[in-house]
Amino acid sequence: MNTLVLTPWMSPLMIVPWQAAVTMMFLDKVDVLENYDEQIRSPSTTIPMPAVVRLRKAVKDTKTGVKFSRTNLMTRDRFTCQYCGAKLPMSQLNYDHVIPRRLGGKTVWENIVTACYPCNARKAGRTPEMAGMRLLRKPFRPRSLPVSTVVSTLRRLPDAWVPYVPAGNA
Encode pLDDT of 106-151 as tens digits: 999 999 999 999 999 999 999 999 999 999 999 999 877 666 666 7
The number of C-alpha atoms within 13 Å of 25 and in the hemisphere containing its C-beta is 19
Q: How far is Cα 24 from Cα 32, in angstroms, rounded to an integer?
A: 10
User: Residue 24 is which amino acid?
Assistant: M
Chain Cα centroid distance, residue 14? 9
How sure is the predictor about 23, in pLDDT bands with cuts at 50, 70 and 90?
A: very high
- pLDDT value of position 155: 74
Residue 85, pLDDT score: 98
**pLDDT exceeds 60 at position 93:** yes
Whether the per-residue pLDDT at 65 is higher than 90: the answer is: no
Q: Do 148 and 13 form a contact (C-beta atoms < 8 A)?
A: no
pLDDT number for residue 57: 94
H or E segment at 123?
helix 117-123
In the 8-state DSSP scheme, what is residue 80?
Answer: B
From the list 86, 32, 85, the residue with the least C-alpha distance to 54 is: 32
Q: pLDDT at position 152, please?
A: 66
Label residue 61 by pLDDT band (50, 70, 90): low
Which residues are 2's β-sheet partners?
17
Rounded-to-integer distance, Cα 12 and Cα 8, Å:
10
Q: Provide the residue ranges of all domains of the chain, joining segments of one domain with +.
A: 2-61+146-164, 70-131
Domain 70-131 has CATH 1.10.30.50: yes
Query: At 41, phi and psi to the nearest 5?
Result: -115, 140
Mean pLDDT of 48-77: 84
For residue 13, name the pLDDT band (cuts at 50, 70, 90): confident
What is the share, in percent, of the chain residues with pLDDT greater than 90?
67
Whether the pTM exceeds 0.75: the reply is no
Confidence of residue 52 (pLDDT cuts 50, 70, 90): very high
